[in-house]
Amino acid sequence: MVEQTSPQLDAIFHALGDATRRHMLRELARGERTVGQLAEPFAMSLAAASKHVRTLENAGLIRREIRGRTHLCRLEPGPLASANAWLAFYERFWTQHLDALEHALRTEGAHPSKPSRKGDDP
């Protein structure tokens, strides 16, 4: 079931709403990384990057394994799947959009039938 009022989704989408964090996720998609490794590409202090990592962790998007003095992070795909599930609800809209476009291009202004009134108030 796709929950609507969900603090989980709030945290997930909020975490994704920052390019730095999206970049970190992309990096983690390539394998495990330490906090330092994740921070390295960015022109910000380690502390700042560490906060981003924490945000990702709080959203459940990554897991952290403390190995001695280094913190090893790995991607946790579950929440991304949740976000994807939420978005999937709208999938028919953009596919439909593309379908309509394709149809319009294909028929080139032939038989102008009903202008596709689909689902207003039932």
Query: Within 36-65, which residues bind a second copy (CB under 8 A)?
Result: none
Placement of tokens 């909020």 in the chain? 14
> Cα(73)–Cα(64) distance, rounded to whole angstroms?
4
Query: Which lies closer to DNA via its Cβ, residue 29 or residue 44?
Result: 44
Q: How far separated are the first and last CA of the chain, in Å rounded?
A: 22
If one asks whether residue 88 binds a second copy (CB under 8 A), the answer comes out as yes
Identify which of 5, 19, 11, 86 has the alpha carbon closest to the alpha carbon of residue 56.
11
Asked if residues 79 and 28 have their Cβ atoms less than 8 Å apart, the reply is no
Partner whose binding site includes residue 34, from DNA, a second copy, none (CB under 5 to 8 Å by kind): DNA
Residue ranges of the alpha helices (H) in 17-45?
19-28, 35-39
Give the residue with the Cβ less far from DNA, 64 or 80.
64
Based on the shown chain and the rule CB under 8 A, indicate whether residue 115 belongs to the binding site for a second copy: no
Q: Return residues touching a second copy (CB under 8 A).
A: 4-7, 9-14, 16-19, 22-23, 25-26, 29-32, 75, 77-78, 80-81, 83-84, 86-91, 93-94, 96-97, 118-121
